[in-house]
A and B are shown apart, each in its own frame.
Chain A
Amino acid sequence: MDYTIKIGGEAGQGIQTIGDTLGLVFARSGYHVFTHQDYESRVRGGHNVFQIRFSDHPVMASKDRVDIIVALDRESIVNYEKELTEYGQIIYDSMSLKKKHERQQFLDIPFVKLAVEHGGSKIMANTVAVGAVMGMIGMELEMLLAILKDTFKKKGEEVIRQNAAAAMAGHDYAVKQCIKCSFAAAPLAKPKMLIAGNDAIGLGAVASGCKFYSAYPMTPSTGIMNYIAGKETAYGIIVEQAEDEIAAINMALGASFAGVRAMTGTSGGGFALMVEGLSLAAMTETPVVIALAQRPGPATGLPTRTEQGELQFALHAAHGEFPRVIFAPGTPEQAFYLTNKAFDLAEKYQIPVIILTDQYLADSQWTYEGFDTGRLKYTDYRLRGDAFRNLSDYKRHAFTDDGVSPLAVPGDAKHVVVTDSDEHDEEGHIIEDAGTRVKMAEKRMSRKLPDIIKEIEPPHYYGDPEAEVVLAGWGSTFGVMKEAVGLLSSGRKTAMLHFSELYPLPATDRFDYLRILKAAKIGICIENNLTGQFARLFRAETGYEFTHQINRYDGRPFTLEYLTGEMDARIGRL
């Protein structure tokens, strides 16, 4: 079983509600689920899509071929009819769309009429649609009814009862009318967790003891702030909406200086404003975690679409020379654990750590058995309370062998804590002499860097150990690459290398990924950008040049068919 459902319609019509509810039903039924969203930068109208793929085996990318289309507008029919699989079905309400389709792949379901008759209000048309989809694939409604109960708990028994009736009406209608439906749901399994990239970063921050998050709203990063703000009271976190991104990063630095774990998040335009603050974090050696959720640029670009166009920006942002770590998680699971690692490294080495994601990962939901909090690391590297009080002497930027000086909490002892964006001495006071400058630059960069590199895990390798074809990528292309390797392996020895701990590039001593690339006939770098930014970084750092590159830069993510089609074209040519 491997089905894809596409829900299309205008913003505000409830695509999100239908998609979220179905996703939850499938995850709780124990299926593997992958969802992704494609929406316009507007609050009402336009045309948006929520796509759900679910299966009894792991799924981690979207497909172009669709089994069920829930068409809430005419555009969904015009645009996607051609994507239907052989036995695919489009469900729609001819009364709402004011158009009737007679061909056999169409199933006219009066969503609104059934909602009014059974639920008592046309608001429940979406619940009818959810019920109908479940009827089409032959699923019972218990799981859905339980979810409706949770969702409408606050609205009371009557609303729950009405929605249940609406769902049943849609379900029964589809069961009776969809004579062409040949879908068959797999048996239920243990419920799975369903989580999107942004929520995973937010959860990762909460689970890492983040106490302060300051940001200015910007798609696609806003979901992180939403998540953490929702946890403000339960977990004792201050979330501050700053007046701009410059303030956001400076506030995070102020909070971090005061002694708490602090984070900020934004997208490219906001990150551009943060750049001077990034440099300040480096100079003052103040730990900070920055989530950078990419969208297509330049400037405002395509605000709600996806791209991996800011790798080189994240690498080079800010003036001056200093160490930074960049993570590019490929899945919500990686996003969760890497956010934890980002906090750990930021605090341990007193450096800025950037978590580079994009709209595709931010909004995509994946299913898991669960996350293991036992794998999380929490070490308080700060000098607090008695440990600080008992020191006879304290210098914020004291020279040490590894370049890391004790990071004290101001106010906890009589010693003062001083830092400066100007070059400074060990105490933190402004200086201009060349000797101190040299020692400080080396302390910040050269002394810390070897230890930082040791922390970086090798890339994820998957596929044939003797691969002739190696796909390489970073960030959100993880899932589509992995599925593509599975499909392509039948023809040719194929493998993938995925870099989620992106910079510094992992050393090759533990796992020699360079040897693998050099041994392969074909090394293809896959990137959601025009110029191949990772390929460029890779060549600069290792000297290896990929034989091929596949780039997509239309603001849309790679789908399985898109990637394998491109692969076939490249490999076929050789």
Chain B
Amino acid sequence: MPALEDYKGGIPAWCPGCGNFNILNTFKEAVVELGMEPHQFTVVSGIGQAAKFPHYLKCNTFNGLHGRSLPVATGLKLANHEMTVVAVTGDGDCYGEGGNHLLHAIRRNIGVKLFVHDNQIYGLTKGQASPTSMEGIKTKNQPLGVFSEQLNPMTLAIALDCSFVARGFAGDAAHLKGLMKEAMKQEGFSLVDILQPCVTFNKINTFEWYRQRVYHLEPEYNPEDRVEAFRRSLEWGDRIPLGVLFRNNRPAYEKRISIIEDSPLVRHAFDISKVEAALKEFY
């Protein structure tokens, strides 16, 4: 069985007190509890403070380009669906630069687990508005305030019939760990948006700000009721729901591809003698 020490990685280049630390520690605990070993999964990430995540851990890693973690993760999962593939990104990375990929990853229902460190700001580039920044907030680059409406990733994902839609909070580790484990167990595409206070550039959405507003979805809440999930996902402001907002049983994309039914693509041997048949078709 793996232990926490097996996951020791580099020293994080995050600001002291950043919400990312809690997410990292929680993730390590979750994989240990799931009995996953470092070589059994791959973290694909983009660029941003959040996206440095896999370097502070021990696991297979593809730290790619800003906004492009999902297509890399998709290709990886299609080539080896026995590998657990986790995409770790930020709100700018995933909802801004990579927005189109998110729509289509959800549509495909590729079996990738997406964890978004949502600090409602561009951290690494030092404090510009992100798609989840609240309307009206002022930054160096938006001195008149943000005019665009805040993106609600939960509502968006539910509208697209995403197979697993959840929200966690970096300040609520025990709850977040449960979400991470459930997301990992889901067959299809899972989105976990994690509220992550940025202690340096976001002076509004602080630990305290979130603590005053978040609440756990009540035990009777039925995440399979899409209309109710949609309604509940609209909640933001005074009350912000945490938990699994929505889930369904759509089969994962890779499960529908007959040629990899028996074994992952990466284990298929190449037999050059079969090529003669393709050549014959040109006569």
Contact = CB atoms under 8 A, between A and B. Distances in A.
Nearest to A233: B259
Nearest to A248: B71
B248 interface: no
Contacts of A420: 55, 61, 63
A309 interface: no
B279 A429 contact: no
Interface string B257-283: 111100001101010101111110011
Contacts of A243: 100-101, 103-104
Interface in B69-111: 70-80, 82-83, 100-101, 103-104
A238 B104 CA distance: 17
B40 A411 contact: yes
A212 B75 contact: yes
B40 to A, nearest CB: 7
A195 B71 CA distance: 33
A191 interface: yes
A251 B257 contact: no
A174 to B, nearest CB: 27
Interface residues of B, number: 54
Contact of A260 (B42, B55, B258, B265): B265
Contacts of B274: 234-235
A301 interface: no
A252 B60 contact: no
B63 A258 contact: no
Contacts of A235: 274, 278
B58 A416 contact: yes
B59 interface: yes
Contacts of A428: 61
Q: Main SS of chain A's interface residues?
A: mixed
A206 B44 CA distance: 28
B39 interface: yes
B266 A260 contact: yes
Contact of B272 (A195, A207, A257, A418): A207
B17 interface: no
Nearest to B264: A258
Contacts of A429: 10, 55
B26 to A, nearest CB: 20
Contacts of A430: 10, 52, 55, 63
B14 interface: no
A480 interface: no
Given A211-B265, A254-B74, A370-B279, 7 more contacts: A27-B283, A203-B278, A240-B75, A257-B75, A260-B265, A260-B266, A421-B65
B65 A212 contact: no
Interface residues on A, range: 35 or more
Contacts of A191: 283
Interface in B13-50: 37-40, 42, 44, 47
A53 interface: no
Contacts of B55: 418, 420, 429-430
Interface in A228-279: 231-238, 240, 242-244, 246-248, 250-260, 262, 276-277
6 contacts: A206-B275, A234-B274, A243-B104, A250-B71, A250-B75, A254-B74
Interface stretch (A106-114, A371-379, A517-525): A371-379
A259 B65 contact: no
B104 A284 contact: no
Contact of B265 (A238, A415, A416): A238
Contacts of B279: 193, 203, 370-371, 373
A335 to B, nearest CB: 13
B80 to A, nearest CB: 4
B71 A242 contact: yes
A411 B82 contact: yes
Contact of A207 (B65, B259, B265, B275): B275
Interface string A401-444: 00000000111011111111110000011100000000000000
Contacts of B63: 419-422, 430
Contact of B62 (A194, A371, A415, A419): A419
Contacts of B75: 212, 214, 240, 250-258, 262
Contact of A258 (B10, B76, B268, B278): B76
B178 interface: no
B61 A236 contact: no
Contact of B68 (A192, A206, A277, A419): A277
